[in-house]
Structure 1
Amino acid sequence: MILDRNTPPKGTVKDWLDARADTGGVAIVFPETGDALNWRTLRDEARAAAEGLAGQGVAPGESVAIVHPNGRAGVVALYAALYGGFRATMINLAAGPDAIAYALDHSGARYAFVHDSQRDVIARVAPTRLTILEPDMLAQRASLATFDAAQHALLMYTSGTTGQPKGVVHAHASLLAGGWTTAIAHDLSAKDRGFCVLPIYHINGLCVTLMGSLVSGGSLAMTAKFSASQFWEQADRAKVTWFSVVPTIISHLLHSDTNPNTDVSARLRFGRSASSALAVETQSAFEERFKVPIIETMGLTETAAQILSNPLPPGTRKIGSPGIAFGNKVRILTADLEDAPPLQEGEIAIRGPNVMVEYLHNPEATAKTFAGEWLRTGDLGHIDEDGYVFVTGRLKELIIKGGENIAPREIDEVLYSEPDIIEAAAFARPCKSYGERVEAAVSVKPGSQLSEAALIALCHQRLGAFKSPESIHFLKELPKGPSGKIQRLKLASLI
């Protein structure tokens, strides 16, 4: 199957993986171990595992949980679920025990591929019906059922403003389209090798790099995690031509003492930034130091990652804008969900083949997210006279830390579990390293002996360190609007 730059991919992930196996060549190299996985081996191992799932009685479209960091086993597990027509349910390892337990329960998964490092936490939080797959369980194989591009392919949980994660469902068609929008925006081909340092349990790592390489016929270098001290050496050893990261990583590389050698800079066509806004000063300084152009983009879990991108050089890149639409259409909506006048701020909305099917078991949230065929992003912005989108704010109150969405209310609820808390609200504070960091404000009962350290420890226990507030401020009363609702967005300026 060949990439058509004018038409979204047809067929299923199974069809594309079979086609890449027939063509041959390297699919993924792993710089940390020296291991490599070619397309045929990847297909054969994925097919065998998929037939093993069918042998366990897993039905087409049924959720199969994948609890893995980046690595060979995790990639095979993902492709096994996709190849068999099952719904790959990616579990965010950084989400914290409560969110992991919710995803496993809400998804209905009966079986899970679990990395050894995650067995203890899954044993603690998994519903009783969940079975961890062992190699011998997949030895009894059964024939795979046929399915089409409308079959559910991916389930990925993303935080919402209510604090309860929403399960984003993608079909094979929209999942492949996510890789396609990346491929056409960045002119990817079989000659390219991307660098995957972002976890594939996030939409960026999964769609931009994995699906982008599948659709374009290129290859990947994949590491278990990002390392600022090893990034350039790994990129050199793997001979990568592009990379996809988040602003936090760009900042870490910029402030590290490690420089790429001449070969790396010459080979790299571009770096790609997404997940949150990239500071203008950071982008300019990075390009000046490393001589690698950074392409700012924008995407959502609900759109299988990329919706907007700046063009590659020598095309016009507008620093401060995530660019123009590739493979989909963008519009700006007024509060009445009508087209905003030219250059006027409104809500950014997207229509295209990469848009999700639904939020699993949540028709109300699904309906609120769509205005007809248009997906409402919850982001505010405007489109300039050249078609470039500029994001000016967020309707939603998500905290975006290092590209990870964190729902403030999820933190509020943990704080409210402490009896002495009267009011609580988590909020974002600008941060040079992560874009935003988490803080919170509380008011407590008179005479309470609650300490900041105790509350932070509680959050660490319930949410994990990444989502927990770095600081908690004690106030007599939190600011409120006329209706009595706490004004979360005012807190950062008041404290």
Structure 2
Amino acid sequence: MILSAETPPQGTVRDWLNTRAATDGPAFVFPAGDDDALSWADLRDHAARIAAHLTAQGIKKGESVALMQPNCRDGVLALYGVLYGGFRATMINLVAGTSAIRYALDHSEARYAFVHQDAQAIFDQAARPGQISQVHINGSDTAQLVDLAPTDQALLMYTSGTTGQPKGVVHTHASLLAGGWTTAIAHGLTPSDCGLCVLPIYHINGLCVTLMGALVSGGTVAMCPRFSASQFWDHASSAKATWFSVVPTIISHLLHAEANPDAKTRAALRFGRSASSALSPDVQTAFETRFGVAIVETMGLTETAAQILSNPLPPGVRKIGSPGLAFGNEVCILSNDLKPMPVDQEGEICVRGPNVMLEYLKNPDATARSFTPDGWLRTGDLGCKDADGYLFVTGRLKELIIKGGENIAPREIDEALYSHADVIEAAAFARPCTSYGERVEAAVKIKAGSTLTNLDLIELCSKKIGAFKAPDVVHILDDLPKGPSGKIQRLKIAELTRGD
């Protein structure tokens, strides 16, 4: 099976794993030193054994099998074993909290789960007594695996659920592979590449961008248990990483940490990619200036198996402040009445392509609302396209601040705050107001020892974007609440700071 830049991957995850196993190249290394490396052949053999065991238990094709696994060798084996067997890998967000985890286990109807020892206490709190059997692979099982097709269900991942109950996003083998493919073709991934994975595999970025990107390109994944600012460059060095995928908060934390890559590591890294939320142009410029590693801004969703947009790699044109161009799918801007918007005109960002989800599990109404009659997925994000086809995100429909009838994009305020070198994390949000309907507030995390005050930051924003858009209050917090990918959660900040 050959990766094509024009045609999405054909077949199933099982087909691609069998193909990679024939090469017996390196698949996974673990630079933290906790686990033994895996070749593609090792991975296929383990996956086939797990698949046979699950089949022997009577688990049906497409049935949910829950994975409560951090980034580790066992988590990789469990994931590929479930996919290889034709079951629906149901990724449980380990930091979502007991109620959200219980909801996912109940809603998915999982009868079996792979539970890592570090997640055992969470599982014991969230799972109902007798509801789910934990999977333990002992000895060898022989069972005829079910036949698989690209349209069969492969992945179930729950959205963060910042408003209402989380929605279960269902991907097929075809859309899951296409998620890795959009990354591979955008970044020119080859079997000689090694991607450093510090994002959790129970998030779509870690799973599709890095893991599926390596599967379809034949490269290697260097998997770390978690992000560590002090160890990031050492892990990249020991793994000989050629690229990494992170989120803006990680880029900011690396920029404010003391560690630096050595010359050999810097030379080996072709690029880093930023996703999940907007990257401040000031932070991007400072990172590239200090570390000499190009950052490629991208955009993706759980519903699109991660990436939909990416800036080209250098020497291609990277437009700072834009997540780039469509790769492997179509992206358009639609008006409120679902008509295409002209160049530079704001509307809703919509996407259509092989990486788009099948459905929201057991929620046909939400599925129907998310698609236009002609098959475009409505992202809920606002943006515009320039004359060159580069997309610029201007806000999110649910996060817009409407002050005195005027729409204010939180990103504009974020970028003003990030322009100060002492600001590590920043997020603006709306607060109800009797005078204007909503007023602007923001929260920041600042560098240790900084003398920055609330008033200093308000004055900075007033100078950068004007007094009307500047926050009335800036809350200085120890940390800003974040989701599993590291994306800052604005709505939770509003709840946390109520009454401050």
TM-score (norm 2): 0.81
In structure 2, the partner of 1:429 is 442
Is 1:10 the counterpart of 2:6 in the alignment? Answer: no
In structure 2, the partner of 1:348 is 349
Displacement of 1:46 after TM fit?
0.6
Equivalent-residue separation in structure 2 for 1:161 and 1:190 (angstroms): 38
Letter in 2 for 1:32: A
In structure 1, the partner of 2:386 is 384
Equivalent-residue separation in structure 2 for 1:165 and 1:30 (angstroms): 32
Equivalent-residue separation in structure 1 for 2:236 and 2:107 (angstroms): 38
Equivalent-residue separation in structure 2 for 1:365 and 1:433 (angstroms): 39
In structure 2, the partner of 1:462 is none
Unaligned runs of 5+ in 1: 409-424, 435-458, 460-465, 475-494
In structure 1, the partner of 2:475 is none
In structure 2, the partner of 1:472 is 497
Please give the residue correspondences for 1:248-327 in structure 2 after superposition, counting only pairs within 5 Å: 248-327=249-328
Letter in 1 for 2:498: H
> 1:364-419 CA distances to partner (integer Å, 9 max, x unpaired)?
00001101310000000000000000000101249999xxxx9x9xxxxxxxxxxx
Label 1:433 to 1:45 Cα distance change in 2 as closer, same or farther (>3 A): farther
Equivalent-residue separation in structure 1 for 2:284 and 2:295 (angstroms): 7
Please give the residue correspondences for 1:157-306 in structure 2 after superposition, counting only pairs within 5 Å: 157-160=158-161, 162-306=163-307
Is 1:63 the counterpart of 2:64 in the alignment? Answer: yes
Displacement of 1:133 after TM fit?
1.1
CA RMSD, aligned part only?
Answer: 2.4
> 1:421-476 CA distances to partner (integer Å, 9 max, x unpaired)?
xxxx9x98354679xxxxxxxxxxxxxxxxxxxxxxxx9xxxxxx976584333xx
Q: Helix, strand or coil for the counterpart of 1:380? A: strand
CA contact (8 A) 1:252 1:433 kept: no
CA contact (8 A) 2:49 2:141 kept: no
Q: Helix, strand or coil for the counterpart of 1:393? A: strand
CA contact (8 A) 1:248 1:433 kept: no
Displacement of 1:163 after TM fit?
2.2
Displacement of 1:225 after TM fit?
0.4
The sequence identity of aligned pairs, in percent, is: 63
CA contact (8 A) 2:66 2:90 kept: yes
In structure 1, the partner of 2:97 is 96
Displacement of 1:123 after TM fit?
1.4
Unaligned runs of 5+ in 2: 401-409, 415-426, 430-437, 448-480, 482-487
Q: Helix, strand or coil for the counterpart of 1:355? A: coil
Displacement of 1:227 after TM fit?
0.6
In structure 2, the partner of 1:329 is 330
In structure 1, the partner of 2:398 is 396
Displacement of 1:108 after TM fit?
0.6
In structure 1, the partner of 2:454 is none
CA contact (8 A) 1:161 1:396 kept: no
Letter in 1 for 2:133: T
Displacement of 1:302 after TM fit?
0.2
Equivalent-residue separation in structure 2 for 1:147 and 1:335 (angstroms): 40
In structure 2, the partner of 1:106 is 107
Q: Helix, strand or coil for the counterpart of 2:45? A: helix
In structure 2, the partner of 1:437 is none
Runs of 4+ with >4 A deviation: 398-401, 466-470
Q: Helix, strand or coil for the counterpart of 2:37? A: strand
Displacement of 1:161 after TM fit?
5.6
Displacement of 1:196 after TM fit?
0.4
Equivalent-residue separation in structure 2 for 1:379 and 1:362 (angstroms): 21
Label 1:94 to 1:428 Cα distance change in 2 as closer, same or farther (>3 A): farther
Displacement of 1:142 after TM fit?
1.7
Q: Helix, strand or coil for the counterpart of 1:233? A: helix
In structure 1, the partner of 2:434 is none
In structure 2, the partner of 1:49 is 50
CA contact (8 A) 2:28 2:221 kept: yes
Equivalent-residue separation in structure 2 for 1:356 and 1:377 (angstroms): 12
Label 1:219 to 1:10 Cα distance change in 2 as closer, same or farther (>3 A): same
Displacement of 1:250 after TM fit?
0.4
Label 1:7 to 1:433 Cα distance change in 2 as closer, same or farther (>3 A): farther
